[in-house]
Amino acid sequence: MGPVTTEVVYVPLISGLDLATGENKKIWEETLQTITEQPGCLSLFWGRQIEHPDVIQMAVDWDKLESHQAFIANPIYGPFIERIKPFLSGPLSMYHAQLPTPSPTSGPFTAPVTECISLYFAPDHPNSTFDSNWTQFVEKAGQTATEAQGAVGGWVVEEVKSKKGLGKDGAEGDGKQFWAVIGWPSVEAHMKYRETEDFSKVVPYLREGPKAIEVHHVNFQKY
């Protein structure tokens, strides 16, 4: 089996929206169920971003990109999206990352907290160069970050458009993205590791190459 295609979705909610009770809970659970029932859907994780609790993040594993594209082309997709629009404070955003198997369903996404890392590169940056860096980071950090619960990453299919930091002198520009996740028992455990000398020795593998880096944490749960 080749790489798993992981659909990453950001769902901006109306501030304070409760999805745990009543009709909202019913609609949300039916939304998740509809996704998991689609041909080619392997798993679905979702949760609120810890730093931005009014943003839900979803990670949906598909056997291949075409399976998700077929769902989008299905006549049920329009009404499916319309049903959750009253929950939203803005548009959904989505991209697809090609992650190696085994997929994160058995690693970082099952941890109590998942660190999500987006690394943005110039269009002409060689993928193989950062692939090597990522491999080195995972190997060496795995020897010292004793509380980490797995790490996986891969390149995003879609081109990045108008991203701050990718243009000249930090302006907006186009490029490409590498997306990675690392499991932790807590945000505090991650922050504690960042303060160690061991972290200072391995983090250059991540910082060499990307023109911009974003990090946040999510409390994922499997549907």
Neighbours of 213 (CB within 10 A): 14
Among 217, 148, 222, 215, smallest CA distance to 185 is for: 148
pTM: 0.93
Instruction: For the chain, give every domain's residue range.
Output: 4-99, 107-222
Contact by Cβ (8 Å): 123, 175: yes
CATH for 107-222, options being 3.30.70.100, 3.50.50.60, 3.90.79.10, 3.40.50.300: 3.30.70.100
Q: What pLDDT does 107 receive?
A: 81
Q: What pLDDT does 135 receive?
A: 96
Q: Does domain 4-99 bear CATH number 3.30.70.100?
A: yes
- 4-99 and 107-222 share one CATH topology? yes
Among 63, 184, 165, 202, smallest CA distance to 116 is for: 184
Sorted by sequence, the CB contacts under 8 Å of residue 30 that are 6+ apart come out as: 83
Separation CA 30–CA 32 (nearest Å): 5
Separation CA 41–CA 37 (nearest Å): 7
The DSSP code for 100 is P
Q: What pLDDT does 104 receive?
A: 46
Q: What pLDDT does 106 receive?
A: 57
pLDDT along the chain (223 residues), means of 10: 86 97 97 97 96 97 95 95 97 94 68 97 95 96 95 96 85 94 97 97 96 97 95
Separation CA 40–CA 10 (nearest Å): 21
Q: What pLDDT does 4 receive?
A: 85
Contact by Cβ (8 Å): 134, 205: yes
